[in-house]
A and B are shown apart, each in its own frame.
Chain A
């Protein structure tokens, strides 16, 4: 389809008729500033092709000139399938349409129909635009960013284009309609989230409500049944309680129980009286018998008492004899004691004498010992005195001896020093020389002589030689030697010794004296050691003891025992043995006397006891005899026998009477009768209470039952069951309907998807070359509604996330592809872009130009823009708007 001319008149800003000049195949560019009327021209183009001439719809009204009413008129010249056509329409007043071409000239609706047929569009409703693909290809200002929004006819057109390739109808459109019908039907039953709605939901809720109500009613019915059952039970119990016969019987039973108890009480009283009578008779009989027995016993006891007295008197005589014998024996024992005591006294005298002798002997010996001790003590004291005197006589002691030795050593040292400075003379005497050599008067012998001081050597026969040693400090040495000799001499003088040897001897003598003194002291110490006394005191003590012993010896004297021969100790031992024997004998006799005399004690006891028994027996017999006599005086034995017989008869009669009463005892006991009465009384009493309670409960139950019955529970339950069943059936029907619709939807949707995938392939192929040119290696995802949902380069990019420029370019490419597809199928196709590609960068714009240029070889493209400079590189056919009548057209 090639648009060759466009005229407009009374269209918005174009009041007078103007023409778009320069239209032709390829790219047509109308570059003009804003407000020039480019969009008006596009609106006029859409109006003349798509709006029915009689329409007064808004798109038509909007075509009217500014500021006034008018009749918009649009005319186009176009070539379609090699045939030239002219189409002219006037809207609003005196509206008309005329289509001329191919030898045809059509007006009015026929023209419109033919036009639709030519364009492959579907007439719009109520004056709206006809629907077809051209709407999508002619993009108005501001719509270039969005992808074509296809109407149903547009989709049908595309689909038929695509299906032509498949050589088969996909039925995609029918499937779409079926799907929308199914979706609509499903939407009646299910909401967006797939939950039941409308009648489906009502059915479900209704069933639940009905079930709940039913459960409530069933519960009430159960309560009613319970009430009825309880009522029946109550009625039975009431009938039982309220039975007049039963109550009369209870009263009669109570009266009878009372009578029984009275009878029992009466009988009991009589029985107790009879029993008292019997007990009395029995007591009387027992008393008589007791009297009788008592009298017999008395007689027997009396006889026994007399015999006993006689027996005891005999025994008394025997006991007296025994006691006398025992007394004699005791006197004999007393005498024996006296004899033994005398013997003991004699033995004691002998013993005392023997003991006195032994004591004197001991004292004599003791005095000897004391005198000896005194003598030893005296001698030891004298020895000590002597030793002390000797020791005191010694002038030397260790200290003085030390001083002497010290002076000696000093002298030795002075001499040594003197000798060290001395002149040594070595003398060797020739034979016969001996004695001829004299030094300082002393003959010299062979050997060495030391001359410490001036000396004169005289050699016999020769002369003298004065020797003066040339020693240094000789005077000093000589003085020291003299001092030392003096000191030694003084020390020796102090101890009274001539020389050291004397001093040494004196010191030894002193040591001997010290030892002797020490020995004497030791002896004395040994004697005194026991007493711890001084020697003087000890000697005093010893002398006093001696004197004391002398006194004691004097006291004992020699009077006793001197006449007795023998060893005093042996005599004493013999006396002691004699004394021991005498003591033992006395002890035995005394023991015999003091030992308890059982025989005598028993004899005395027996005698006393027998005397007491005899007294009692005698008194008892006498009392018995008196009592018996008194009793016989009151009641003779014959009278007592008669009373016994009478009491016997009375007791038998009373026992018989008691037996007779016992035989007439009524059944049961009084306690049982009382219990029966109490039970019956309680039964009667509680019966009234029970009756009242039962009536009260029955009234309550009855009220409940009537209330429930008035509700018609059974009827309501049946109605509710019907309701629930109806809802359940409706629910099932809805569920089935949903299942059917979903099954249908799934099947159709799957089929449509499969078909769409098949027939979308050509569209994708149509778009792909241009797409690849613009976006290398990119693949577009085409949806069943022919929109491009995403661009896949390295990753999938949803369309809405792409930049404005990219989205616009893709939208243009999509239209280009669709137009190409239509053209290839022989459909009318041309593209109008109003202010498109304004977001493209220069690189993209160049490639878009290439793409458009390439496409323009196949189809006409009209570009309307206010930015002419952008499109200078497009090499487009330039369009101009000129008043009708201008002969020249700009561009080429």
Chain B
């Protein structure tokens, strides 16, 4: 049989760094990913989709947020969607899962709230051992029960759980820690895990699918934006796992030290190369340092801040290149005069006093150069 393994949809997630324009796009795209997963499952002949927790980002989503993923799954009645609660949307009493149940879920959407084996497909050739979370932090291994869980003889056992795997021999107390060899201990054909946002293979039978739509600049494993197509030929057969891209946005961190026009050009090239076909799918968190002359500073502003800032979905910049005025820049103010005197004052302030005052003086100096140049240009 074939199934599609996904997790950590985290519908309703709020991105603090995103402004009002970008936030709805990012949130919307997480919903769109469900459609892409469904279509992928259909296209690959999977009978069901297992979602390993954290369908929702919040324990108390709004009614609309609560219903939105259900409505997306409803469009795929030919697929069975098996859901378990994760640490973000754990199953608390009177919580969202009860709300969800009250909305009247269609039969092909099956939340597994209790550790009870359930048939994975209509034929019953495979059985699901769900280990959803009843609390945000569970002491003990929520998958431990799988070892002794009885399923019909000769059927495929598929575990579905949410948490971090524990290393061999690691006994340290932790939350939601899963035995790394649970698949072997419980005789599972496949253990579908959620919680880590990057896809990751723990062993041949144990995988994290990662989030289908990347939601951060620091996603571990193979990065997010994927779903895993799992082919199980029998209870003993090793699963065949294929990662398929389902995400739209590409999130990247970048660093640059800028000292001249070449650096700027290189940085621009580097960032545009992340997705040459569609830079609007790219979100970049750029940390920049260095110092530029006046004209290069203009170039930085024009090519990176304004240019790439418009091209990319998001360009978040930490830091800024400092100003390293050239002798030509200084000459623009003449050998004497008030502006020249002011630059000298500010340059001196930028080199003394506390950090904040120095930074302000440096910024003021840079601004003075730009203004003075504008003023001179205006007079010309």
* A contacts, CB < 8 Å to B: 166, 168-175, 177-178, 181-182, 221, 224, 228, 231-232, 235, 702, 705-706, 708-716, 718-719, 721-722, 725-726, 736, 739-741, 743-744, 747-748, 750-752, 754-756
Given known pairs A171-B334, A224-B60, the reply for A231 and B339 (CB within 8 Å) is no
Q: How far is the CB of B209 from chain A (nearest CB, A)?
A: 24
B346 touches A705 (CB 8 A): no
- Report how far A750 CA is from B374 CA in the complex, Å: 21
10 closest pairs, A vs B, by CB?
A171-B337, A712-B62, A714-B58, A175-B338, A751-B341, A168-B336, A718-B14, A752-B338, A744-B364, A751-B342
Question: Which residues of A are found within 8 Å of B287, using beta-carbon distances?
Answer: none
* B interface SS class: helix
Given known pairs A178-B339, A178-B375, A709-B99, the reply for A721 and B16 (CB within 8 Å) is yes
B60 touches A221 (CB 8 A): yes
Contacting residue for B345 out of A228, A715, A750, CB 8 A: A750
Given known pairs A231-B94, A709-B96, A721-B16, the reply for A755 and B367 (CB within 8 Å) is no
Q: Nearest chain-A residue to B59 (Cβ)?
A: A714
Question: Which residues of B are found within 8 Å of A748, using beta-carbon distances?
Answer: 338-339, 342, 368
Q: How far is the CB of B54 from chain A (nearest CB, A)?
A: 13
A169 touches B336 (CB 8 A): yes
- Report how far A228 CA is from B58 CA in the complex, Å: 16
Given known pairs A177-B378, A711-B62, the reply for A751 and B345 (CB within 8 Å) is yes
Contacting residue for B93 out of A231, A708, A719, A726, CB 8 A: A231
- Report how far A221 CA is from B12 CA in the complex, Å: 17
- Report how far A169 CA is from B379 CA in the complex, Å: 15
Given known pairs A744-B367, A744-B368, the reply for A174 and B375 (CB within 8 Å) is yes
Q: How far is the CB of B66 from chain A (nearest CB, A)?
A: 8
- Report how far A756 CA is from B60 CA in the complex, Å: 66
Q: How far is the CB of A294 from chain B (nearest CB, A)?
A: 89
Given known pairs A709-B99, A751-B341, the reply for A178 and B372 (CB within 8 Å) is yes
A712 touches B14 (CB 8 A): no
B338 touches A182 (CB 8 A): no
Contacting residue for B339 out of A171, A235, A726, A740, CB 8 A: A171
Question: Which residues of B are found within 8 Å of A721, using beta-carbon distances?
Answer: 14, 16
* A interface SS class: helix
B60 touches A175 (CB 8 A): no
**B100-120: contact bitstring with A at CB < 8 Å (1 yes, 0 no)?**
000000000000000000000
B338 touches A172 (CB 8 A): yes
Question: What would 23 A/B residue contacts be, using CB atoms closer than 8 Å?
Answer: A169-B334, A174-B338, A174-B379, A175-B342, A178-B375, A181-B371, A221-B60, A228-B92, A708-B60, A709-B94, A710-B63, A712-B60, A714-B58, A714-B59, A715-B61, A715-B62, A718-B57, A736-B363, A744-B346, A748-B342, A750-B345, A755-B338, A755-B341
Question: Which residues of B are found within 8 Å of A751, using beta-carbon distances?
Answer: 338-342, 345
Question: Which residues of B are found within 8 Å of A709, using beta-carbon distances?
Answer: 60, 94-96, 99
Question: Which residues of A are found within 8 Å of B12, using beta-carbon distances?
Answer: 712, 715, 718
Question: Which residues of A are found within 8 Å of B371, using beta-carbon distances?
Answer: 178, 181-182, 744
- Report how far A173 CA is from B376 CA in the complex, Å: 10
B361: CB under 8 A from chain A? yes
Question: Which residues of A are found within 8 Å of B61, using beta-carbon distances?
Answer: 712, 714-715
Given known pairs A174-B372, A721-B14, the reply for A168 and B334 (CB within 8 Å) is yes
- Report how far A228 CA is from B93 CA in the complex, Å: 8
Given known pairs A178-B368, A231-B94, A744-B346, the reply for A755 and B16 (CB within 8 Å) is no
B262: CB under 8 A from chain A? no
Question: Which residues of B are found within 8 Å of A714, using beta-carbon distances?
Answer: 58-61
- Report how far A182 CA is from B338 CA in the complex, Å: 15
Question: Which residues of B are found within 8 Å of A712, using beta-carbon distances?
Answer: 12, 58, 60-66
Q: How far is the CB of A155 from chain B (nearest CB, A)?
A: 13
B354: CB under 8 A from chain A? no
Q: Nearest chain-B residue to A706 (Cβ)?
A: B99
Q: Nearest chain-B residue to A714 (Cβ)?
A: B58
Q: How far is the CB of A838 from chain B (nearest CB, A)?
A: 40
A715 touches B14 (CB 8 A): yes
B40: CB under 8 A from chain A? no
Question: Which residues of B are found within 8 Å of A178, using beta-carbon distances?
Answer: 339, 342, 368, 371-372, 375
- Report how far A741 CA is from B375 CA in the complex, Å: 16
B148: CB under 8 A from chain A? no
A702 touches B334 (CB 8 A): no
Contacting residue for A740 out of B60, B63, B364, B372, CB 8 A: B364
Given known pairs A169-B334, A171-B337, A751-B339, the reply for A740 and B363 (CB within 8 Å) is yes
B154: CB under 8 A from chain A? no
- Report how far A547 CA is from B365 CA in the complex, Å: 174
**B312-355: contact bitstring with A at CB < 8 Å (1 yes, 0 no)?**
00000000000000000000011111111110011001000000
Question: Which residues of A are found within 8 Å of B62, using beta-carbon distances?
Answer: 710-712, 715-716
Question: Which residues of A are found within 8 Å of B63, using beta-carbon distances?
Answer: 710, 712
Q: Nearest chain-B residue to A174 (Cβ)?
A: B339
Question: Which residues of B are found within 8 Å of A750, using beta-carbon distances?
Answer: 342, 345
